[in-house]
Every structure is written in structure tokens, then in C-alpha cells.
Amino acid sequence: TVYLDRVGDASVEKELCAALAESVGKIEVAGDDETALVKREKQSAMIAALFNLRSDAVEKVRLLAQIIDLADATALIQGQDRGVSPLADMLDVATLKASLALWGSEIPDEELRALYEAIVRGMDRVLALLSKDTSGDKTKLKKVKAANECKQKYVLFVLATYTEESQLDNTSAKYAEEASIGAIRDPINLFSSQRQLTSLPAVVALQKSKPALHDLLKIFMDG
């Protein structure tokens, strides 16, 4: 990976980096045993090496999304002490926003959306893992709550990337429904981050596609 900087052409460097990351990500690893886990960790580590070496903001966003998709769910668990998992720490909203600002340049909404969607998928994997945990972990409920909150925040970020009605599609509709159900289930805990929910174009569109859900959301959010 260190040889990318020797190419001398920034556009070619980006193409090579993307091709390398895509090739690594496409390697299928079957099973959930120790051997499969080690292989997936190696895949994630290879893309992480690319991530650390690249400075372009869009490249870093794309690589981070791939790292999250490849990461074992245990590396994404929220609600733990900082330092237990650097990747989980990075998914903290304040931490990630600071990193995005540090990387600089304007990052297109489509790229941010792909990153946020990767985080939502990651939280789904975390919640699935925790649901099967029978170890008696006393912090399980705290971790489940943290994962649900993290997921809801990033679902809202996904929806915020749809700024025009013309951009709305089946994916935005799915996230709008998911965010609405999440807000109805817990309208208080994330009130500050959810209070603009009903003004988002994708959620406004629920008036036509899911009127009962939209009306219920308005009751919970507006009283």
C-alpha cells in the first residue's frame, strides 16, 4: 500500500486504492468459526492500512464504510469504556463528526449516506449478537440501549442526506419508516436529535405512503 504514493498521479492513486479495497472486500469468508474470524480480521486490517495511509476525505469515508462492513460485530459494540475498541469509539457521533471535519473538503451527501448506512448495518449486527448472548453479561442492557441509540442517530443522518423530494426512493422510505418507529418507541431519550424528524422530506412523504404511521409520529413528537 505504501507504493500508491509513488504513482505520481492523484487520480490513478485513487483508482488503484479503490480497486485494491474492493478486491479485498470481495473475498468471501464462510462460517463463524475461529478461522473465519481471523480471515475477516485480516481483511479489515488490510483496508484499515489503506485508510490510515490515504488523506483524501472521500477515500477515507469509503474505506471506513468498508472497514465497518467487514468488522466483527464485537468490534462495534457501543456502551463500553473508551479504548476497548477503537472502531467502536470512532462511531461515537461527536468523534466521527470531528474526524470528518478534520479530513476536510466537501464530502458529497451520497458518500456520507453510504457511510451512515454501513454504521446502521453494523448496529443491526451488534443487536443480533447481543440478542443471542446468554453469558450473563451485566452490561448487556446498557450495550443494547447504546446500540439502539447509535442506530437511530445514524438513521436520522441517512435521512438528512435526502434534501430534495426528487431524491426520495425506496431506500429513503425504508429509513423514514424505521426512524419513525424508533422515535415513537423512545420519543424522550433522543428528543434533541429527533425533534426535526417530521420536517425531513423522506418523513414528510410518509403522509402519503404511511399516513397512520405519520399521524402517530406527529402525536408523539408534537404532542
d(CA 115, CA 17): 17
Is residue 178 within 8 Å of residue 155, measured between CB atoms? yes
Give the whole-number percent of the chain exceeding pLDDT 90.
59
Cα 46 from Cα 33, distance rounded (Å): 20
Q: Is the pLDDT of residue 112 over 90?
A: yes
| Average per-residue pLDDT for the chain | 87
pLDDT beyond 90 at 76: yes
Number of CB atoms found within 10 A of residue 191's CB: 11
C-beta of residue 122 within 8 angstroms of C-beta of residue 156: no
pLDDT of residue 33: 65
- Averaged pLDDT, 27-54: 76
pLDDT at site 54 = 83
Please write down the HEC assignment for all residues of 41-97: HHHHHHHHHHHHHCCCHHHHHHHHHHHHHHCCHHHCCCCCCCCCCHHHHHCCHHHHH
Per-residue pLDDT tens over the stretch 130-189: 999 999 899 999 999 999 999 999 999 999 999 999 999 999 999 999 999 998 888 777
